[in-house]
Structures are given as C-alpha cells and as structure tokens.
Amino acid sequence: MSNLSSALQQLRQEQKQAQQQVEKLQSAISVIQGLLGRHGSGTSAKGAGPGRILSAAARKRMAQAQKARWAKVRQGSKPADGKTKSGSPIKRTMSASARRKIAAAQRARWAKVKAAKKAA
C-alpha cells in the first residue's frame, strides 16, 4: 500500500506543478492581450477589429438591410424545373427492370473477377 500512497502523493505534486504552469501561461496571455487591446493593433479573440463597437440600433439597421438584400436576390431567382420548394432536387425512383439490369451487370462483373482470381 505504501507504493500506492507514494504514487498518489507524486501525482498530486505533479498536478500542482501543472496548475502553476497553467496559471503562468494564462497571466502571460492576458498581458499580451492587454497590450494588443491598448494600442489598437491586431484583432481581439472574437476576430472583430478593435474599436468596432456598434449600437444595438446600428446592428438592427444592418440586419434589416442584409435581409432586404437577400430578399431581392431570392425574388430575382425562380425555382428551376425538377426542384422542390426547399431547393433540393426531386428524388427519382428506379424501375424494377432497371434494377434487374444493374444487378445482372454487377453479378457478371463479380463473376469475371472471381474467374480471373481462380485462374491466377
């Protein structure tokens, strides 16, 4: 049992060291992010430019304008034949005779492969 307790003690010590390293890395990251944010160079974690702060009203106007643009695009395009309302193509079914022909051709291909394998 002393082996297990010493192993457990060692693992806990390694965990503490790892936690300390993580804390050091987080503090370094926050320092660098603070430097980037203060000088206005680079981008933030979200990817937006620094200083690009919009009011809720401005975001709403932008959203409405984008919706209007998309409505205009959709209005100009009419659904083509062979398409459903959702835009996906109509699913086609194969006749029984076509399935039989494809199955017979596939059986013939496999028979040819097996014959070549048997001959070799």
Q: Output the DSSP codes for 68-90.
A: HHHHHHHHH--PPTTB-TTSPBP
Percentage of the residues of the chain whose pLDDT score is greater than 90: 55
**pLDDT for position 50:** 63
pLDDT in tens, 94-117: 999 999 999 999 999 999 999 999
What is the reported pLDDT for 15? 95
Residue 79 has pLDDT above 80, yes or no: no
Q: Tell me the HSE value of 57 on the side-chain side, using a 13 A CA sphere.
A: 0
Count Cβ atoms below 10 Å from residue 92 Cβ, excluding itself: 6
pTM for this structure? Answer: 0.31
